[in-house]
């Protein structure tokens, strides 16, 4: 079985699993406990993982808040900012996002929209990218409390002009969040240089780590002062009071190791993914020519993600037919009655959406495995 759905999830890396195992067996201490070695060992392991994640992203370790994944990070940041700054003598109910965000962003904004917030949605181009100039104009006019724009799109693979946006938000001082779930380990990230990014979300299982763990990066306001948000989970005050609950040490350790490997192998993985992507698109072009149409751009994109249409072929029927041989996706978990909001917002017709499949590679796929596509074409 050829696994080509790596944007949905990745297989856990052997080194990650190995690092996690002791924390599922003998090292079961609670890092919030004190003095005895099981607790201290757990505390040290969490501190190391926090360091590994912060090194990957170029932020301070105490700006890393462990969560259950990117869905929680997105919810926590958006609801947390919205609530805090409407409860403390400041009232700004304007929020801004794009039309092609992950459901954990869109639905969170929808939720707030029903509670009196004014949510504006930025249009995107044919590759699902926002125009930084439009973001600039809208933010100047409306001064939103929070703007959330994803770094790279999970369905079509386009990267947004994040450095330009970060500069913009550094200048205007407004809160900016980016969902970086799909770009971790695929693009270099240095938050020290991107000061306008106040909040960032990421997830473990997209980078060879375990499921059920991720991080919310909450940059400090100044060196000492933490950015305030209302927590999603109240309780014992773990994670600097941002997120209560006993830490999932095994998962945190796994995320840390996956982050370390993502940083160490970034260059090599990107090179490999680009080589494989070219190999794959060449097969499609040579064998299918005018029977296919690419949705993804060829530049400023997530390496290894290809979204394309098989003209006249229903995507779900094709995926079903191939399911015994290859794991592919239609781009999102969309049902036939509810087509992809990303492709629709990028100007694709319903027919085009229904003939789209997404292939997402991993560096360990081989060229001869991809030759599989020569047989089906």
Tell me whether residue 268 is exposed, middle or buried, using C-beta atoms within 10 angstroms of its C-beta: 0 to 12, 13 to 18, 19 or more.
exposed
Establish if 102 lies at the interface with ligand PMP (CB under 6 A). yes
Query: What backbone phi and psi angles, to 5 degrees, belong to 301?
Result: -135, 165
Separation of alpha carbons 308 and 313, rounded Å:
12
Q: How far is the CB of 129 from ligand PMP (least distance, A)?
A: 14
104 touches ligand PMP (CB under 6 A):
yes
**Phi then psi dihedrals of residue 176, to 5 deg:** -130, 130
The answer to the question of residue 69 lying near ligand PMP (CB under 6 A) is: yes
The residue with its CB nearest to ligand PMP is: 69
Nearer to ligand PMP, 13 or 292 (CB): 13
Least gap, CB of 330 to ligand PMP (angstroms): 13
Cβ distance to ligand PMP smaller for residue 81 or 255: 255
Interactions with ligand PMP, residue window 207-246 (CB under 6 A): 214
The answer to the question of residue 98 lying near ligand PMP (CB under 6 A) is: no
* Nearer residue to ligand PMP within complex by CB, 70 or 328: 70
CB of 111 to ligand PMP, least distance (A): 16
Site string for ligand PMP, 179-198 (x = CB under 6 A): x-xx----------------
Contacts of 22 (CB under 8 A, 6+ apart): none
Nearer to ligand PMP, 200 or 292 (CB): 200
Asked if 329 touches ligand PMP (CB under 6 A), the answer is no
* Least Cβ distance, residue 358 to ligand PMP (angstroms): 11
Query: In whole angstroms, what is the distance from residue 172 CA to residue 192 CA?
Result: 17
Helical segments of 58-101, H only: 70-84
Neighbours of 91 (CB within 10 A): 9
Near ligand PMP in 135-164, by CB under 6 A = 150, 154
Q: Which of 42, 46, 65, 70 binds ligand PMP (CB under 6 A)?
A: 70
Supply the angle between the helices 14-24 and 249-264 in degrees, to the nearest 10: 160
Pick the catalytic residue from 16, 334, 353, 357.
334
**Per CB under 6 A, does 258 bind ligand PMP?**
no
Residue 32 carries which DSSP code? T
Q: Would you state the structure tokens that stand for residue 6, as one six-digit string? A: 């790596």
| Sequence-separated (6 or more) residues with CB below 8 Å from residue 247 | 30, 31, 32, 42, 46, 66, 238, 239
Burial track 143-167 (b if 16+ CB lie within 10 A, e otherwise) = ebbbbbbbbbbbbbbbbbbbeebbb
CB-CB contact of 206 with 33 (8 Å): no
Residue 213 C-beta: closest distance to ligand PMP, Å:
8
Q: In angstroms, what is the minimal distance from the CB of 75 to ligand PMP? A: 9
What is the sign, positive or negative, of the torsion defined by CA atoms of 129, 334, 329, 357? Answer: negative
Q: Is 334 a catalytic residue?
A: yes
Residue 129 touches ligand PMP, criterion: CB under 6 A: no
Q: Does 280 bind ligand PMP (CB under 6 A)?
A: no
User: Is the Cβ of residue 41 or residue 71 nearer to ligand PMP in the bound state?
Assistant: 71
Active site residues: 334
- Chain residues that interact with ligand PMP, rule: CB under 6 A: 69-71, 102, 104, 150, 154, 179, 181-182, 203, 214
């Amino acid at each position: 079985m050829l696994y080509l759905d790596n944007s949905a999830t990745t297989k856990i890396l052997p080194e990650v699993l190995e690092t996690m195992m002791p924390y599922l067996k003998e090292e079961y201490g609670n890092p919030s406990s004190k003095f005895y070695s099981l607790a201290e060992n757990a505390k040290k392991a969490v501190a190391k993982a926090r360091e590994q994640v912060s090194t990957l992203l170029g932020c301070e370790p105490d700006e890393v808040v462990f969560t259950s994944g990117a869905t929680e990070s997105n919810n926590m940041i958006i609801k947390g900012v919205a609530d805090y700054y409407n409860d403390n003598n400041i009232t700004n109910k304007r929020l801004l996002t794009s039309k092609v965000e992950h459901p954990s962003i869109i639905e969170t904004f929808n939720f707030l929209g029903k509670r009196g917030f004014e949510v504006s949605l930025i249009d995107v181009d044919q590759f699902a990218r926002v125009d930084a100039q439009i973001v600039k104009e809208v933010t100047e006019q409306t001064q939103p409390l929070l703007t959330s724009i994803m770094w790279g799109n999970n369905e079509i693979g386009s990267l947004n002009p994040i450095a330009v946006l970060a500069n913009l938000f550094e200048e205007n001082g407004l809160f900016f969040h980016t969902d970086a779930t799909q770009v971790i380990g695929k693009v270099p990230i240095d938050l020290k240089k991107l000061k306008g990014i106040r909040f960032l979300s990421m997830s473990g299982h997209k980078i060879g780590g375990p499921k059920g763990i991720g991080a919310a990066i909450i940059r400090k306001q100044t060196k000492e002062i933490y950015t305030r948000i209302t927590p999603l989970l109240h309780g014992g005050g773990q994670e600097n009071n941002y997120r209560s609950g006993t830490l999932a040490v095994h998962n945190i350790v796994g995320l840390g190791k996956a982050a370390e490997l993502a940083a160490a192998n970034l260059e090599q993985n990107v090179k490999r993914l680009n080589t494989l992507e070219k190999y794959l698109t060449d097969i499609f072009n040579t064998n299918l020519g005018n029977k296919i149409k690419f949705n993804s751009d060829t530049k400023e994109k997530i390496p290894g993600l290809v979204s394309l249409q098989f003209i006249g072929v229903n995507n779900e029927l094709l995926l079903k037919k191939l399911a015994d041989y290859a794991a592919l996706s239609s781009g999102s978990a969309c049902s036939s009655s509810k087509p992809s909001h990303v492709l629709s917002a990028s100007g694709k017709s319903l027919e085009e959406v229904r003939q789209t499949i997404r292939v997402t590679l991993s560096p360990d796929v081989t060229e001869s495995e991809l030759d599989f596509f020569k047989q089906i074409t």
